[in-house]
Structure 1
Amino acid sequence: MSVAVCLLVYGFIIAVLAPSALPRLARGGAAPRFALTAWLTALGSTVLAWVGALTTLTVDVVRHRVHHMSQAVMDDCVTQLHDAAVGQYGGATQVGLFILTGLAALASAFWFVRIGHSLWQARRTTFSHARMARIAGRHNSELGAVVLDVDHPAAYCVAGKPHTIVVTRGVLTALDDRHIDAVLAHERAHLDGRHHLLLALTRGLATALPRIRLFAVGAAEVARLLEILADDAAVRVHGRATVLRALLTVSDMSEGPAEAMGATGIGLTGRVARLAAPTDRTARRRSRLTLGAATATAALTAVAALLLAAAETAVCLPISS
Structure 2
Amino acid sequence: MSGTTAAAFGALAVLLAGPVPALLSRAKWPLRAPRAALVLWQAIALAAVLSAFSSGLAIASMLLVPGPDGRPTTSPTDEIAALGLPLWVLSVSVFAITVLIGARLMYSTARVAIRTRRRRSHHRMLVDLLDQRDPRLAEYSTADLRVLQHDEPMAYCLPGLRQRVVVSAGTLDQLAPAELSAILAHERAHLRARHDLVLEAFTAVHEAFPRFVRSKSALGSVRLLIELLADDAALRSTGPRPLAQALVTCAASKTPEGAMAAGGPSTLVRIRRLADGTYDARVSAAAYTTAILILVGPTIAVAVPWLVELSRLFGFTHR
Match of 1:34 among 28, 33, 36: 36
Match of 2:47 in 1: 45
Q: For residues 253-291 of structure 1, what are the alpha-carbon distances to aligned partners after superposition, in whole Å with 9 as ceiling and x for unaligned?
A: x14123211111251111000001212x6xx12321332
Match of 2:103 among 109, 115, 118: 109
CA-CA distance at 1:83 after TM superposition: 7.9
- Conserved in 2, the CA contact under 8 Å of 1:39 and 1:222? yes
Kindly indicate whether residue 225 of structure 2 is the aligned counterpart of residue 225 of structure 1: yes
Task: Tell me how far apart the structure 2 counterparts of residues 185 and 213 of structure 1 sit (CA, whole Å).
Answer: 38
- Conserved in 1, the CA contact under 8 Å of 2:153 and 2:170? yes
Q: Percent identity?
A: 26
Structure 1 length as normaliser, TM-score?
0.79
Q: How many residues of Structure 1 are paired with residues of Structure 2 in the alignment? A: 299
Q: For residues 170-224 of structure 1, what are the alpha-carbon distances to aligned partners after superposition, in whole Å with 9 as ceiling and x for unaligned?
A: 1011111111111000000000000011112212332343615645322111110
Q: For residues 117-142 of structure 1, what are the alpha-carbon distances to aligned partners after superposition, in whole Å with 9 as ceiling and x for unaligned?
A: 12221221122212221122236673
Match of 1:296 in 2: 292
Give RMSD over aligned pairs: 3.4
Task: Tell me how far apart the structure 2 counterparts of residues 157 and 177 of structure 1 sit (CA, whole Å).
Answer: 19
1:78-227 matched pairs, under 5 angstroms: 85-88=78-81, 96=89, 100=93, 101-102=95-96, 104-106=98-100, 108-138=102-132, 142-144=140-142, 145-209=145-209, 211-212=211-212, 214-227=214-227
2:281 alignment partner AA? R
Q: Which moved more, 1:102-111 or 1:232-241?
A: 102-111
Q: Which moved more, 1:200-209 or 1:103-112?
A: 103-112
CA-CA distance at 1:225 after TM superposition: 0.3
- Conserved in 2, the CA contact under 8 Å of 1:159 and 1:191? yes
- Conserved in 2, the CA contact under 8 Å of 1:84 and 1:94? no
Q: Which runs of 5+ in 1 are unaligned?
A: 313-321
Match of 1:263 in 2: 262
CA-CA distance at 1:95 after TM superposition: 8.2
1:238 alignment partner AA? T
Do the aligned partners of residues 70 and 288 (structure 1) sit closer, same or farther apart at CA in structure 2, a change above 3 Å counting? farther
Match of 1:316 in 2: none
CA-CA distance at 1:10 after TM superposition: 2.4
Q: Which runs of 5+ in 2 are unaligned?
A: 309-319
- Conserved in 1, the CA contact under 8 Å of 2:105 and 2:204? no
- Conserved in 2, the CA contact under 8 Å of 1:6 and 1:305? no
Do the aligned partners of residues 108 and 285 (structure 1) sit closer, same or farther apart at CA in structure 2, a change above 3 Å counting? closer
Task: Tell me how far apart the structure 1 counterparts of residues 87 and 172 of structure 2 sit (CA, whole Å).
Answer: 70
